[in-house]
Amino acid sequence: RAVDEALVPTRTKQVPVKREICQNQDFRIARSDASHREEIVELVYLGQGRPFQVVERPESPLFDKEMATQYTEYDPDLANQMLDDLGFAERNGDGIRLGPDGKPISITVDIAVVRRPWLDSAELIRGYWKDIGIDLVINTMERSAQVQRIQANDHDASIWSASGGADTLFNPRYFFPAEWQSFYATTWGQYYAGGPTQEEPPEYVKHQQDLYNQVVASSDANKRTELFKEIIRIAKEQFYTFGLFQPDRDYGIINNQLRNVPDTMMASTIYTYPGSYNPEQFYFTDK
């Protein structure tokens, strides 16, 4: 996986005021700077990982070290200053900043109840964001309900794992709006891939989508890599998602009598796993 947990804010919200706020890049950066990832890793994941943005894994030729760590340094003072500079200095009696409409800035994050750590992380983030004057509402639900809200473009933000850590060519949705599961721009993704809620995206997104069309049309591996590096460069610049942490390598338990199993296997939800490692060639021995 690229990261095991990502908080993905939407940029295509239909509510005009929230759309204006959430499309502001400095607003996204400020919330990222205010999120104490190291504490999340230690308290929620028992130190089994590291703060990371959504980026290809270091093993990949598409890895970008600067992108992996941008805006991951915990700096609430900088975040507060950025929000003040954006014109959100006025707060209500609860310390929550007021938006352009004079109402408290409140972001609702949808979380499917499939992984308890995501809920624990969200509780911590709620506290971090309250310290900078942003209200975070945690909205838990069953996975299918979350899907319906995202497809209908009704969400403010969602938490999910970001796949594509080493197979982004097959699973590009976290690096440009490629489908409805590009949670940060659902309607732009559906414009590209088809879907019930479509909206024409800005030119930089269209450029990414065109680059990906060239990726899938090319049989030259080096050319595909170079084209996708440009897609990732734009994603880095646009800062679509908040990566929270990248896990250490997973491990598995293998029966001592099972043979012909590779020492290292790459897990994926895109291609058959472990089918791609020829399990028909595994065998048991009585020794």
Q: What is the pLDDT of residue 286?
A: 86
Q: What is the pLDDT of residue 41?
A: 94
Mean pLDDT across 30-38: 97
% of the chain with per-residue pLDDT over 70: 95
Q: What is the pLDDT of residue 159?
A: 93
Q: How confident is the model at residue 166 (pLDDT cuts 50, 70, 90)?
A: low
Mean pLDDT across 12-26: 93
User: Is the pLDDT score of 116 beyond 80?
Assistant: yes
Query: Using CA atoms, how far apart are residues 257 and 286, in angstroms rounded to an integer?
Result: 6
Q: What is the pLDDT of residues 206-256, one digit of tens each?
A: 999 999 999 999 999 999 999 999 999 999 999 999 999 888 777 778 899
Q: What is the pLDDT of residues 133-165, one digit of tens each?
A: 999 999 999 999 999 999 999 999 999 988 665
User: Is the pLDDT score of 110 beyond 90?
Assistant: yes
Mean pLDDT across 263-285: 79
% of the chain with per-residue pLDDT over 90: 75
